[in-house]
């Protein structure tokens, strides 16, 4: 895709895709932060382009609505919306072992509490 997403993640095993001026192949994860101006494009054109480009995971973060939508490609190559679990935690497939609470997008939690929850202290 010729798009310039807000954020991308490329796994270590795919770093050869990173060229000086472009990405030669799909990113492992694309994140778009929507705005009223970009919402239709992010949910329409970009959704379709990223899905067709083979990007395994696509997140749409809408700060105004305080809504996050997480898409992962299924076996047929189609995006499926993946909901956070019963504790509000989303588990990424593109970043094995990585998880986050959807609520962290809207209210930054105390750092020490977060580090404890992540098992880092």
pLDDT in tens, 16-60: 999 999 999 999 999 999 999 999 999 999 999 999 999 999 999
- The CATH number linked to 97 is 3.90.1570.10
Per-residue confidence at 115, pLDDT binned at 50, 70, 90? confident
Q: Is residue 1 domain-resident?
A: no
The reported pLDDT for the residue numbered 118 is: 82
The b-or-e profile of 6-29 (16+ CB within 10 A means b, else e) is: eebbbeeeeeeeeeeeebeebbbb
Q: How many CB atoms lie within 10 A of CB 61?
A: 20
Q: Is residue 13 domain-resident?
A: yes
Q: Is residue 58 domain-resident?
A: yes
Q: From CA 58, how far away is CA 90, in angstroms rounded?
A: 13
Summarised one tens digit per residue, pLDDT across range 76-106 is 999 999 999 999 999 999 999 899 999 999 9
Q: Is residue 30 domain-resident?
A: yes
Q: Is residue 79 domain-resident?
A: yes
Query: How many distinct structural domains can be found in the chain?
Result: 1
Per-residue confidence at 2, pLDDT binned at 50, 70, 90? low
> What residue numbers bound the domain in which 102 lies?
7-117
Q: Is residue 35 domain-resident?
A: yes
Q: Is residue 71 domain-resident?
A: yes
């Amino acid at each position: 895709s010729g798009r310039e997403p807000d954020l991308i993640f490329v796994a270590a095993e795919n770093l050869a895709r990173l060229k000086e001026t472009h990405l030669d192949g799909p990113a492992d994860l694309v994140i778009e932060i929507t705005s009223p101006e970009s919402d239709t494009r992010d949910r329409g054109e970009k959704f379709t382009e990223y899905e067709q480009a083979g990007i395994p995971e696509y997140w749409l973060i809408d700060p105004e609505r305080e809504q996050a939508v997480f898409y992962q490609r299924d076996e047929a190559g189609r995006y499926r919306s993946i909901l956070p679990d019963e504790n509000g935690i989303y588990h990424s497939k593109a970043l094995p072992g990585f998880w986050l609470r959807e609520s962290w997008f809207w209210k930054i939690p105390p750092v020490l509490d977060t580090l404890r929850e992540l098992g880092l202290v």
